[in-house]
Structure 1
């Protein structure tokens, strides 16, 4: 349904850019048959399809074959753009001093820190929160180190991880105030605070993906469920929030679909992009 409760006929849409966790996959990180078939039907109609996520590019390789991805993939919220074979197109890393200031803030607040640098995931506490879940999600294991050291010099992403959601919300606000325009700091999940290059945010990412795909931004539809997806909603008039999104996120989207446990992405594709009334690139 639309945010107002009624479905309006969409304008011409030439591509769909989708978030991954909470959108493309279920809570258990399953890509369902209905979603896979909907994406393939979208592509058969002549529309482009791309994914953008806070995940590292290596953590999205499992979608390339089942979705027949042909468009670039944006990892780290736009901190790295790769081809479907994971060949790097371009990337953006944090300023080393900004990375160290961020780490200092997380340490001061007692928040576990992860570092993604040069294709590797570094942790200092192998028993820290959410490590097992993240390993299941990205399908590779972290490298345990006593200190991050020089890996901070080429940081694609620092992540603050905590089961205390209120604490992490305060850390988000403090990181934004402390870092200002020097970095992008936003929670991708209530338990993950992602700090990346200032141009590594989903608003910038959707613009860059549109250019890489050769599609006018006004002909791009976007779909997501998280607070960090609001930035791409702001770039595209055709925005869709998942049913599992918070009310804050839903309020920023033009349409709201079903949850990721109900094939909400597939339902959105079927209703808004493949229906007889929808004008596409075909």
Structure 2
């Protein structure tokens, strides 16, 4: 495997277990990267407010990527580069999800908004990002502030169909891709985890060929395509595994730490 100078990791399903736990093995693996002089950062579909607890735990000093990489913030969560969804596309996305009976969330830079506090995945998201939603009767006042729209549903087949419909509905004016089988993310156009990898590699002066990425979902494929080495988690679907250069163990069996062991064995 080629020399690696920078690692960019997904969070949920990759760095964290299914119970949203950062294991001791994962922490130790990141510390070994730091000790070896290998840069490390994270990029996620999570909102900015859902990333803060990881920064201190992993001693991250590089900028991180939120909202599938469309927002870049520094280690103190100050915006470095931020993009928004066009308001008309926000409304179009909301209308489509509402018509399909999918629960809708709108994220601004610092708030999670929902019209339905009893939505099936609200408690799950509270546990995941360690923040509570703001309940609003109407999304209209926030259309010009949307960093991300999420459609949440336990019906994976329905959400897969919605993904295809949404991609056609928004065209090149937004990105629409599932970050989990139960979450469909609509994010600003022209920015994804791949563009984040390009941006962070440029900032630290590392060639893309010397970047390793690791993830488990379709939204991670964009960064796989930009990096010299890519690891798919063992819990990833077969189509995600097929697009990675290597496959590691699952997030329940310290697959992240095992992949970092491979990175560290390559030397510098």
What's the TM-score once normalised by structure 2's chain length?
A: 0.98
Does structure 1 residue 96 correspond to structure 2 residue 87?
yes
1:137 to 128, 150, 159: 128
Task: Give the conservation status (yes or no) of the 8 Å contact 1:117–1:152.
Answer: no
What's the TM-score once normalised by structure 1's chain length?
A: 0.93
Shift of 1:215: 1.6
Mapped to 1, the partners of 2:15 and 2:109 lie a distance apart of 26
Task: Give the conservation status (yes or no) of the 8 Å contact 2:48–2:109.
Answer: no
Shift of 1:112: 0.9
3-state secondary structure, aligned to 2:69:
coil
Shift of 1:246: 0.6
Aligned to 1:196: 187
Does structure 1 residue 111 correspond to structure 2 residue 99?
no
Aligned to 2:218: 227
Shift of 1:42: 0.7
Mapped to 1, the partners of 2:244 and 2:35 lie a distance apart of 26
Mapped to 1, the partners of 2:231 and 2:109 lie a distance apart of 33
Mapped to 1, the partners of 2:67 and 2:10 lie a distance apart of 12
Task: Give the conservation status (yes or no) of the 8 Å contact 1:16–1:47.
Answer: yes
* Pairing of 1:70-85 with structure 2 (within 5 A): 70-85=61-76
* Root-mean-square deviation over aligned CA pairs: 0.9
Aligned residues: 268
Structure 1: runs of 5 or more not aligned: 1-9
Aligned to 1:187: 178
Runs of 4+ aligned structure 1 residues displaced above 3 Å come to none
Shift of 1:214: 2.5
Aligned to 1:7: none
Task: Give the conservation status (yes or no) of the 8 Å contact 2:47–2:109.
Answer: no
1:57 to 48, 58, 71: 48
Shift of 1:114: 0.2
Mapped to 2, the partners of 1:195 and 1:231 lie a distance apart of 15
Does structure 1 residue 273 correspond to structure 2 residue 263?
yes
2:29 to 28, 38, 41: 38
Shift of 1:66: 1.6
Mapped to 2, the partners of 1:149 and 1:212 lie a distance apart of 37
Task: Give the conservation status (yes or no) of the 8 Å contact 2:208–2:228.
Answer: no
1:264 to 252, 255, 261: 255
* Pairing of 1:172-183 with structure 2 (within 5 A): 172-183=163-174
